[in-house]
């Protein structure tokens, strides 16, 4: 079998992505059927940056498939603290595990690892760059809520500059037909130019705005909120100035379309007020639950595991 990695959502074709989401949907409906497909397989989680959902949902995914897990959850507790390169680390991990998920504060670190690896490497978030498995989670959620992707109007709000989930989601959605984006951010936190350039090349319409109001929310099918990425700021004053730029509360939500679902990759800080959680349009906790099923489907796909009959 050819060794495959997942660095960006574009590493999967649209057909592969749709097949993976469908597999995730089947796993959700009948998880018992998949309980032993990874017996004897091991996942390594190499996390050089904090995580709750991503690491634990990867681990839950492998355990649900009958496999085992090992790994570390911070750079200080690994040999990175002694100066080991990711290239050397992955060479060694390739002898201990069958597949690895890596999160790293430096953009491109999982890609470097994949170039030295004998096992599939999954990018579980690299700095402010990409986060393809969050995107799979987001896509499954949108597909369940809206029935598909074609023709949707998607609003993305918050830190669109450093928010890696935003970059991966825009790239993945850009391959479907008739989408439009509304990019809502402070001027200093706009989407990077490479993301915008790709929208322009594909002729996908997008609007940029600094305001989250009735006008910008009009016509949205999905509002994807994000937190301001504190850990990527050089200057704490800038972070403090921007951290509460957007707060989606009940009052604001009253101005939004009745069929606009709210997604958030989590963790939430202040950008969605807790009083929104009970609104039927709040879909972020459901979204977090889907993270396990897409990661189960991804592990099976990259390990070339056949679906049980
Ligand atoms: C995201 C991340 O790590 O980029 N979290 C996650 O994986 N669900 C979003 C964030 O940290 O803001």
Predicted confidence pLDDT, tens digits, the chain (309 residues)? 899 999 999 999 999 999 999 999 999 999 999 999 999 999 999 999 999 999 999 999 999 999 999 999 999 888 888 989 999 999 999 999 999 999 999 999 999 999 999 999 999 999 999 999 999 999 999 999 999 999 999 999 999 999 999 999 999 999 999 999 999 999 999 999 999 999 999 999 999 999 999 999 999 999 999 999 999 998 999 999 999 999 999 999 999 999 999 999 999 999 999 999 999 999 999 999 999 999 999 999 999 999 998
79 and 154, same structural domain? Answer: no
Give 51 Cα–ligand 1 centroid separation in angstroms: 8
Q: Are residues 141 and 267 in the same domain?
A: yes
* Cis, peptide link before residue 267, omega less than 30° from 0: yes
> CA 137: distance to chain centroid?
6
**CB of residue 164 inside a 6 A radius of ligand 1:** yes
> In angstroms, rounded to a whole number, what is the distance separating the alpha carbons of residues 14 and 305?
20
189 with 230, same domain: the answer is: yes
Report the DSSP beta bridge partners of residue 52: none
Tokens (6 digits) for 69: 């897990």
Catalytic residue positions? 53-54, 82, 103, 131
Q: State the greatest distance between any 2 C-alpha atoms of the chain, in Å, as a whole number.
A: 57
Task: Determine if ligand 1 sits within 6 Å of the CB of residue 268.
Answer: no
The predicted structure's pLDDT at residue 207 = 97
**Are 50 and 61 members of one domain?**
yes
- Ligand 1 atom 8, closest CA: 265
Is the residue at 74 inside a domain? yes
> 165 and 75 in one domain?
no
| Domain count within the chain | 2
- Judgement on whether residues 141 and 200 belong to the same structural domain of the protein: yes
Q: 140 with 251, same domain?
A: yes
> Is there a contact between 34 and 64 (Cβ–Cβ < 8 Å)?
yes
User: Is the residue at 1 inside a domain?
Assistant: no
Does residue 138 share a domain with residue 249?
Answer: yes
Is there a contact between 121 and 286 (Cβ–Cβ < 8 Å)? Answer: no
Does a structural domain hold residue 243?
yes
Q: Is residue 4 part of a domain?
A: no
Distance 266 CA to ligand 1 centre (A): 6
Read off the CATH number of the domain in which 256 is found: 3.40.50.1370
Structure tokens at 78: 């690994």
Same domain, yes or no: 71 and 177: no
Q: Is the CB of 165 under 6 A from ligand 1?
A: yes
Rounded Cα distance between 167 and 72, Å, is: 26
Residue 253 is predicted with a pLDDT of 97
Per the domain annotation, does 309 fall within a domain? Answer: no
pLDDT for 25 equals: 97
Closest ligand 1 atom, CA of 266?
8
- For residues 130 and 120, give the distance between their C-alpha atoms in angstroms, rounded to a whole number: 17
Q: Is residue 3 one of the residues assigned to a domain? A: no
User: What is the pTM for the complete model shown?
Assistant: 0.97
Q: Which domain range does residue 109 map to?
A: 9-130+291-303
Q: State whether the beta carbon of 131 lies less than 6 angstroms from ligand 1.
A: yes
* Claim to verify: residue 241 and residue 298 sit in the same structural domain: no
Regarding whether 182 and 148 lie in a shared domain, the answer is yes
- Is residue 2 included in any domain, yes or no? no
Which pLDDT score is estimated for 1? 83
- How far is 204 from 198, CA to CA, in rounded Å? 9
Is 85 domain-assigned?
yes
Please state whether beta strands 206-209 and 180-184 pair in parallel, antiparallel, or not at all (unpaired): parallel
Span from the CA of 197 to the centroid of ligand 1 (angstroms)? 24
Same domain, yes or no: 144 and 238: yes
């Amino acid at each position: 079998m050819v060794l495959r990695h997942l660095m960006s959502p574009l590493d999967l074709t649209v057909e592969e992505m749709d097949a993976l989401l469908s597999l995730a949907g089947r796993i959700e409906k009948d998880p018992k059927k998949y309980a032993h497909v990874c017996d004897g397989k091991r996942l390594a989680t190499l996390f050089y940056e904090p995580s709750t959902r991503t690491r634990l949902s990867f681990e839950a995914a492998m355990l649900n498939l009958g496999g085992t897990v090992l790994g570390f959850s911070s750079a200080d507790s690994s040999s990175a603290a002694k100066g080991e390169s990711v290239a050397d680390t992955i060479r060694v991990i390739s002898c201990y595990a069958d597949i690895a998920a890596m999160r790293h504060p430096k953009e491109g670190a999982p890609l470097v690892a994949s170039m030295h690896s004998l096992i599939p490497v999954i990018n579980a978030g690299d700095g402010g760059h990409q986060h393809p498995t969050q995107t799979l989670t987001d896509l499954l959620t949108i597909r369940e809520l809206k029935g598909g992707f074609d023709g949707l109007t998607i609003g993305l709000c918050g830190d669109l500059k450093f928010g890696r989930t935003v970059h991966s989601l825009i790239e993945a959605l850009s391959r479907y037909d008739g989408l439009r984006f509304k990019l809502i951010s402070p001027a200093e936190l706009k989407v990077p130019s490479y993301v915008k350039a790709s929208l322009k090349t594909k002729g996908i319409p997008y609007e940029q705005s600094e305001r989250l109001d009735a006008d910008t929310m009009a016509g949205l099918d999905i509002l994807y909120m994000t937190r301001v990425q504190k850990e990527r700021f050089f200057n704490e004053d800038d972070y403090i100035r921007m951290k509460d730029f957007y707060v989606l509360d009940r009052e604001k939500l009253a101005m939004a379309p009745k069929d606009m679902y709210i997604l958030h990759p989590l963790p939430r800080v202040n950008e969605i007020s807790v009083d929104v959680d009970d609104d039927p349009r709040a879909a972020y906790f459901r979204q977090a639950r889907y993270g396990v099923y897409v990661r189960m489907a991804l592990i099976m796909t990259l390990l070339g595991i056949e679906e049980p009959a």
